[in-house]
């Protein structure tokens, strides 16, 4: 399972090689109050706790920070998530979140609940016990649910 995903919780390490993780989607929550995140051609001002869903192969960078970067990151095989999305009748939402524009941004007034999902995902990923993969993937889909709710509100 370790080769299919990576999970970091509230880390200040930003050592992710774009080429190494090109086939993985990324879900990132940032814990800084300044700077910009550039995803493809779109730039967002960073708001503490916001979440970014980034498609496989989509480039991104974080710039103009005035403080130390702290972020939680999940990377998981895009093919794996697409397969699960098909099984769970989630293909349309997957397309809208990841493939339509290459990314999706969720402003997060409920950032503590989202943070808890990242913490739980990190915990089960680190455990590497039976059923860990299922628990990890369930946390990923709980995070995707925040994007689905945001999609519904934008209609």
140, two tokens: 């990923």
The pLDDT of residue 136 is: 94
Least Cα distance to 97 among 48, 146, 153, 42 occurs for 146
The pLDDT of residue 35 is: 92
The pLDDT of residue 18 is: 47
The pLDDT of residue 19 is: 43
pTM assigned to the model: 0.90
Please report the DSSP string for 105-139 in residue order: EE--TTHHHHHHHHHHHHHHHHH--TTHHHHHHHH
66, two tokens: 């005035």
Strands 24-30 and 51-54: antiparallel
The pLDDT of residue 94 is: 96
The pLDDT of residue 64 is: 87
**Residue pLDDT tens, the chain, 155 long:** 445 788 999 987 654 444 455 789 999 999 998 899 999 889 999 999 999 999 999 988 998 888 888 999 999 999 999 999 999 999 999 999 999 999 999 987 889 999 999 999 999 988 878 888 899 999 999 999 999 999 988 87
Q: Position of tokens 């998981």? A: 76
- Which residues 6+ apart lie within 8 Å of 16 measured at CB? 73, 75
Backbone angles phi, psi at 110, to 5 degrees: -105, 45
The pLDDT of residue 37 is: 93
The pLDDT of residue 143 is: 95
What stretches of the chain adopt beta strand conformation (E)?
5-11, 24-30, 36-39, 42-45, 51-54, 60-63, 71-77, 103-106
Q: How many CA atoms lie within 13 A of 116 on its CB side?
A: 6
């Amino acid at each position: 399972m370790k080769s299919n995903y990576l999970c970091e919780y509230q880390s200040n390490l930003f050592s992710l090689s774009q080429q190494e993780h090109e086939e993985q989607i990324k879900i990132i929550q940032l814990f800084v109050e300044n700077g910009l995140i550039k995803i493809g051609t779109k730039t967002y001002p960073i708001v503490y706790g916001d979440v970014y869903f980034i498609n496989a192969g989509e480039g991104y960078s974080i710039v103009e920070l005035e403080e130390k970067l702290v972020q939680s990151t999940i990377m998981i095989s895009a093919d794996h998530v697409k397969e699960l999305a098909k099984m769970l009748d989630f293909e349309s939402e997957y397309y809208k979140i990841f493939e339509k524009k290459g990314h999706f941004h969720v402003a997060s007034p409920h950032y503590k609940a989202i943070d808890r999902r990242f913490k739980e995902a990190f915990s089960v990923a680190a455990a590497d016990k039976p059923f860990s993969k299922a628990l990890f993937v369930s946390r990923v889909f709980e995070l995707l649910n925040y994007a689905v709710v945001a999609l519904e509100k934008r209609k």
